[in-house]
Amino acid sequence: MSSTLFIGLGRMGAPMAIQHARSFHTVVFDLASDTAERVAAKSDAVALSSLSDMPESIDTIILMLPSSREVEELLVGRGDLLTLIKRDSIIIDMGSSEPESTRRLAAQAGGFGIAYVDAPVSGGVPKAATGELSILVGGADAHVARALPHLRTMGSKIIPVGDVGTGDVAKAVNNLVSATNIAVACEALSIAESSGISRERMAEVLNSSTGRSQASELKLTEYVIPRNFTSGFAYDLMLKDMAIAVGLETSTRTPVTRSAFDVLKRGRASLGTEPDHTEIGRLYGLGDPPIAGEGLSP
Protein backbone atom coordinates (compact mmCIF):
# COMPACT_ATOMS: atom_id res chain seq x y z
CA MET A 1 0.00 0.00 0.00
CA SER A 2 1.07 3.56 -0.66
CA SER A 3 0.30 6.28 1.92
CA THR A 4 0.69 10.02 2.24
CA LEU A 5 1.94 11.73 5.38
CA PHE A 6 0.34 15.19 5.75
CA ILE A 7 2.24 17.40 8.21
CA GLY A 8 0.87 20.75 9.48
CA LEU A 9 -2.85 20.82 10.25
CA GLY A 10 -3.47 24.50 10.95
CA ARG A 11 -6.10 26.79 9.44
CA MET A 12 -5.21 25.63 5.92
CA GLY A 13 -3.64 22.21 6.48
CA ALA A 14 -6.63 20.70 8.33
CA PRO A 15 -9.22 21.29 5.56
CA MET A 16 -6.66 20.38 2.87
CA ALA A 17 -5.79 17.09 4.58
CA ILE A 18 -9.50 16.28 4.88
CA GLN A 19 -9.93 16.83 1.11
CA HIS A 20 -6.81 14.75 0.37
CA ALA A 21 -8.00 11.86 2.56
CA ARG A 22 -11.11 11.49 0.39
CA SER A 23 -8.95 10.14 -2.45
CA PHE A 24 -5.68 8.84 -0.90
CA HIS A 25 -4.77 6.90 2.20
CA THR A 26 -3.60 9.77 4.40
CA VAL A 27 -1.77 9.81 7.72
CA VAL A 28 -1.87 13.19 9.51
CA PHE A 29 0.54 14.79 11.98
CA ASP A 30 0.85 18.13 13.76
CA LEU A 31 3.08 19.28 16.60
CA ALA A 32 0.08 20.69 18.47
CA SER A 33 -1.43 17.93 20.57
CA ASP A 34 -4.88 16.55 19.65
CA THR A 35 -4.87 18.34 16.28
CA ALA A 36 -4.23 15.15 14.27
CA GLU A 37 -6.92 13.29 16.24
CA ARG A 38 -9.41 16.09 15.55
CA VAL A 39 -8.71 15.96 11.79
CA ALA A 40 -8.91 12.14 11.80
CA ALA A 41 -12.26 12.28 13.61
CA LYS A 42 -13.70 14.42 10.78
CA SER A 43 -12.26 12.45 7.85
CA ASP A 44 -10.86 9.18 6.56
CA ALA A 45 -7.34 10.21 7.69
CA VAL A 46 -5.38 8.31 10.32
CA ALA A 47 -3.72 10.29 13.14
CA LEU A 48 -0.01 9.86 13.87
CA SER A 49 1.21 10.87 17.33
CA SER A 50 4.96 10.76 16.64
CA LEU A 51 7.00 10.90 13.44
CA SER A 52 9.18 8.09 14.77
CA ASP A 53 6.10 5.82 14.35
CA MET A 54 5.81 6.69 10.65
CA PRO A 55 4.35 3.68 8.76
CA GLU A 56 6.52 1.90 6.13
CA SER A 57 3.86 2.59 3.47
CA ILE A 58 4.59 6.38 3.40
CA ASP A 59 5.96 7.46 0.01
CA THR A 60 4.46 10.97 -0.27
CA ILE A 61 4.96 13.74 2.29
CA ILE A 62 2.85 16.90 2.10
CA LEU A 63 3.93 19.88 4.22
CA MET A 64 1.65 22.78 5.21
CA LEU A 65 3.82 24.63 7.74
CA PRO A 66 4.03 28.36 8.56
CA SER A 67 7.39 29.15 6.91
CA SER A 68 10.72 27.83 5.64
CA ARG A 69 12.05 27.95 9.19
CA GLU A 70 9.70 25.11 10.26
CA VAL A 71 10.25 23.22 6.99
CA GLU A 72 14.05 23.28 7.42
CA GLU A 73 13.79 22.37 11.09
CA LEU A 74 11.62 19.37 10.22
CA LEU A 75 13.55 18.08 7.20
CA VAL A 76 17.20 18.75 7.97
CA GLY A 77 17.21 20.21 11.50
CA ARG A 78 16.05 18.55 14.67
CA GLY A 79 13.35 16.51 12.88
CA ASP A 80 15.92 15.05 10.44
CA LEU A 81 13.02 13.72 8.39
CA LEU A 82 15.04 13.43 5.17
CA THR A 83 16.96 10.55 6.72
CA LEU A 84 13.75 8.81 7.85
CA ILE A 85 11.90 8.90 4.51
CA LYS A 86 12.22 6.04 2.00
CA ARG A 87 14.22 6.62 -1.21
CA ASP A 88 11.96 7.36 -4.20
CA SER A 89 9.49 9.23 -2.01
CA ILE A 90 8.25 12.71 -2.93
CA ILE A 91 7.98 15.79 -0.71
CA ILE A 92 5.35 18.36 -1.71
CA ASP A 93 5.77 21.61 0.22
CA MET A 94 2.44 23.46 0.00
CA GLY A 95 3.24 26.25 2.47
CA SER A 96 4.42 29.66 1.29
CA SER A 97 8.16 29.08 1.63
CA GLU A 98 11.30 30.97 0.61
CA PRO A 99 12.45 30.05 -2.91
CA GLU A 100 16.15 29.86 -1.94
CA SER A 101 15.45 27.57 0.99
CA THR A 102 13.23 25.39 -1.21
CA ARG A 103 15.98 25.04 -3.84
CA ARG A 104 18.54 24.06 -1.17
CA LEU A 105 16.19 21.51 0.40
CA ALA A 106 15.30 20.06 -3.02
CA ALA A 107 19.01 19.55 -3.75
CA GLN A 108 19.52 17.88 -0.37
CA ALA A 109 16.45 15.68 -0.91
CA GLY A 110 17.80 14.74 -4.35
CA GLY A 111 20.94 13.46 -2.61
CA PHE A 112 18.72 10.95 -0.78
CA GLY A 113 16.86 9.98 -3.99
CA ILE A 114 13.79 11.93 -2.87
CA ALA A 115 11.79 14.13 -5.29
CA TYR A 116 10.78 17.66 -4.21
CA VAL A 117 8.09 20.01 -5.43
CA ASP A 118 6.94 23.40 -4.12
CA ALA A 119 3.18 23.84 -4.49
CA PRO A 120 1.98 26.85 -2.48
CA VAL A 121 -1.70 27.68 -2.60
CA SER A 122 -4.02 30.65 -2.96
CA GLY A 123 -7.69 30.97 -2.03
CA GLY A 124 -7.56 30.93 1.76
CA VAL A 125 -9.56 28.86 4.21
CA PRO A 126 -12.88 28.98 2.24
CA LYS A 127 -11.30 27.44 -0.90
CA ALA A 128 -9.24 24.98 1.17
CA ALA A 129 -12.50 23.72 2.68
CA THR A 130 -14.08 23.11 -0.74
CA GLY A 131 -10.95 21.76 -2.48
CA GLU A 132 -10.93 24.69 -4.92
CA LEU A 133 -7.54 26.24 -4.23
CA SER A 134 -5.28 27.66 -6.92
CA ILE A 135 -1.97 25.80 -6.69
CA LEU A 136 1.28 27.19 -8.12
CA VAL A 137 3.76 24.41 -8.78
CA GLY A 138 7.55 24.47 -9.13
CA GLY A 139 9.62 21.39 -9.87
CA ALA A 140 11.09 19.02 -12.46
CA ASP A 141 8.44 17.84 -14.95
CA ALA A 142 8.50 14.24 -13.72
CA HIS A 143 8.16 15.33 -10.10
CA VAL A 144 5.30 17.69 -10.91
CA ALA A 145 3.52 14.90 -12.84
CA ARG A 146 3.82 12.69 -9.79
CA ALA A 147 2.47 15.39 -7.47
CA LEU A 148 -0.51 16.29 -9.70
CA PRO A 149 -3.00 13.58 -8.59
CA HIS A 150 -2.47 14.70 -4.98
CA LEU A 151 -2.78 18.39 -5.85
CA ARG A 152 -6.02 17.77 -7.77
CA THR A 153 -7.69 16.60 -4.55
CA MET A 154 -7.15 20.09 -3.06
CA GLY A 155 -7.18 22.49 -5.99
CA SER A 156 -9.35 23.33 -8.97
CA LYS A 157 -6.69 25.40 -10.76
CA ILE A 158 -3.16 24.01 -10.89
CA ILE A 159 -0.51 26.12 -12.59
CA PRO A 160 2.97 24.72 -13.21
CA VAL A 161 5.25 27.78 -13.21
CA GLY A 162 8.76 26.38 -13.73
CA ASP A 163 11.65 24.78 -11.88
CA VAL A 164 11.69 24.05 -8.19
CA GLY A 165 11.30 27.27 -6.16
CA THR A 166 9.29 29.12 -8.82
CA GLY A 167 5.97 28.18 -7.20
CA ASP A 168 7.20 30.00 -4.09
CA VAL A 169 8.26 33.02 -6.16
CA ALA A 170 4.83 33.19 -7.84
CA LYS A 171 3.04 32.86 -4.50
CA ALA A 172 5.08 35.63 -2.81
CA VAL A 173 4.55 37.99 -5.74
CA ASN A 174 0.81 37.22 -5.77
CA ASN A 175 0.55 37.98 -2.07
CA LEU A 176 2.45 41.23 -2.49
CA VAL A 177 -0.31 42.30 -4.90
CA SER A 178 -3.07 40.86 -2.70
CA ALA A 179 -1.81 42.68 0.44
CA THR A 180 -1.36 45.93 -1.48
CA ASN A 181 -4.93 45.53 -2.78
CA ILE A 182 -6.50 45.17 0.65
CA ALA A 183 -4.48 48.11 1.97
CA VAL A 184 -5.59 50.36 -0.88
CA ALA A 185 -9.20 49.15 -0.59
CA CYS A 186 -9.24 50.07 3.14
CA GLU A 187 -7.59 53.38 2.28
CA ALA A 188 -10.38 54.03 -0.24
CA LEU A 189 -13.10 53.41 2.37
CA SER A 190 -11.47 55.82 4.78
CA ILE A 191 -11.11 58.55 2.10
CA ALA A 192 -14.76 58.08 1.08
CA GLU A 193 -15.97 58.11 4.67
CA SER A 194 -14.20 61.43 5.35
CA SER A 195 -16.21 62.84 2.43
CA GLY A 196 -19.52 61.55 3.78
CA ILE A 197 -19.91 58.28 1.86
CA SER A 198 -20.56 55.27 4.12
CA ARG A 199 -18.09 52.37 3.97
CA GLU A 200 -20.89 50.02 2.87
CA ARG A 201 -21.87 52.31 -0.02
CA MET A 202 -18.24 52.80 -1.10
CA ALA A 203 -17.65 49.03 -1.09
CA GLU A 204 -20.73 48.67 -3.31
CA VAL A 205 -19.24 51.29 -5.66
CA LEU A 206 -15.87 49.52 -5.83
CA ASN A 207 -17.47 46.13 -6.38
CA SER A 208 -19.50 47.30 -9.33
CA SER A 209 -16.74 49.49 -10.80
CA THR A 210 -13.16 49.22 -11.98
CA GLY A 211 -11.72 49.48 -8.46
CA ARG A 212 -12.97 45.92 -7.83
CA SER A 213 -10.56 43.21 -6.58
CA GLN A 214 -10.78 40.03 -4.50
CA ALA A 215 -9.90 42.26 -1.53
CA SER A 216 -12.90 44.52 -2.15
CA GLU A 217 -15.30 41.73 -3.10
CA LEU A 218 -14.52 39.24 -0.35
CA LYS A 219 -12.35 40.81 2.34
CA LEU A 220 -14.07 44.19 2.69
CA THR A 221 -17.57 42.76 2.65
CA GLU A 222 -17.04 39.59 4.71
CA TYR A 223 -14.38 40.61 7.24
CA VAL A 224 -13.58 44.35 7.36
CA ILE A 225 -16.99 46.06 7.19
CA PRO A 226 -18.63 43.57 9.63
CA ARG A 227 -15.50 44.12 11.80
CA ASN A 228 -15.07 40.41 12.59
CA PHE A 229 -11.57 40.20 11.00
CA THR A 230 -11.83 36.40 10.68
CA SER A 231 -10.33 35.57 7.27
CA GLY A 232 -8.02 32.96 8.85
CA PHE A 233 -4.87 34.34 7.22
CA ALA A 234 -2.53 35.80 9.81
CA TYR A 235 -1.11 39.33 9.45
CA ASP A 236 2.37 38.00 10.26
CA LEU A 237 2.16 35.36 7.51
CA MET A 238 1.13 38.13 5.09
CA LEU A 239 4.19 40.18 6.12
CA LYS A 240 6.37 37.08 5.69
CA ASP A 241 5.13 36.67 2.11
CA MET A 242 5.62 40.36 1.33
CA ALA A 243 9.16 40.22 2.72
CA ILE A 244 9.96 37.23 0.45
CA ALA A 245 8.70 39.09 -2.62
CA VAL A 246 10.45 42.34 -1.72
CA GLY A 247 13.65 40.34 -1.14
CA LEU A 248 13.46 39.05 -4.74
CA GLU A 249 13.38 42.56 -6.14
CA THR A 250 16.37 43.24 -8.35
CA SER A 251 15.54 46.78 -9.44
CA THR A 252 14.30 49.91 -7.71
CA ARG A 253 11.21 50.07 -9.93
CA THR A 254 8.72 48.66 -7.43
CA PRO A 255 7.82 51.76 -5.41
CA VAL A 256 4.09 50.99 -5.04
CA THR A 257 4.37 47.50 -3.54
CA ARG A 258 7.51 48.48 -1.61
CA SER A 259 5.73 51.34 0.13
CA ALA A 260 2.70 49.09 0.86
CA PHE A 261 5.12 46.68 2.55
CA ASP A 262 6.76 49.46 4.57
CA VAL A 263 3.37 50.84 5.69
CA LEU A 264 1.97 47.43 6.70
CA LYS A 265 5.19 46.47 8.50
CA ARG A 266 5.03 49.70 10.49
CA GLY A 267 1.31 49.19 11.22
CA ARG A 268 1.98 45.80 12.84
CA ALA A 269 3.11 47.51 16.07
CA SER A 270 -0.40 48.95 16.60
CA LEU A 271 -2.12 45.56 16.47
CA GLY A 272 -2.27 42.94 19.23
CA THR A 273 -1.08 39.34 19.34
CA GLU A 274 -1.67 37.20 16.25
CA PRO A 275 -3.85 39.65 14.30
CA ASP A 276 -5.70 38.51 11.18
CA HIS A 277 -4.41 40.22 8.02
CA THR A 278 -7.80 41.88 7.46
CA GLU A 279 -7.07 43.93 10.61
CA ILE A 280 -5.33 46.22 8.15
CA GLY A 281 -8.81 47.81 8.26
CA ARG A 282 -8.25 48.75 11.90
CA LEU A 283 -5.13 50.71 10.92
CA TYR A 284 -7.45 52.86 8.79
CA GLY A 285 -9.91 53.50 11.63
CA LEU A 286 -12.37 50.87 10.33
CA GLY A 287 -12.31 48.81 13.54
CA ASP A 288 -14.42 49.05 16.66
CA PRO A 289 -13.14 50.36 18.98
CA PRO A 290 -10.61 52.36 16.97
CA ILE A 291 -7.01 51.49 17.81
CA ALA A 292 -5.23 53.89 20.11
CA GLY A 293 -3.11 56.44 18.30
CA GLU A 294 -2.64 56.57 14.57
CA GLY A 295 -2.09 53.02 13.27
CA LEU A 296 -0.17 54.22 10.25
CA SER A 297 1.78 57.16 11.67
CA PRO A 298 5.49 57.06 10.87
Where in the sequence numbering do the catalytic residues fall?
A: 171
In the complex, the residues that contact ligand NAD under the rule CB under 6 A are: 7-13, 29-32, 35, 64-67, 70, 73-74, 95-96, 121-122, 124-125, 232-233, 237
- Cα 268 versus chain centre, distance: 19
Nearer to ligand NAD, 113 or 226 (CB): 226
Q: Which residues contact 289 (CB under 8 A, 6 or more apart)?
A: none
Half-sphere exposure of 90 (CA within 13 A, CB side): 22
Nearer to ligand NAD, 13 or 295 (CB): 13
User: Is 119 in contact with 132 (CB distance < 8 Å)?
Assistant: no
User: Is 45 in contact with 27 (CB distance < 8 Å)?
Assistant: yes
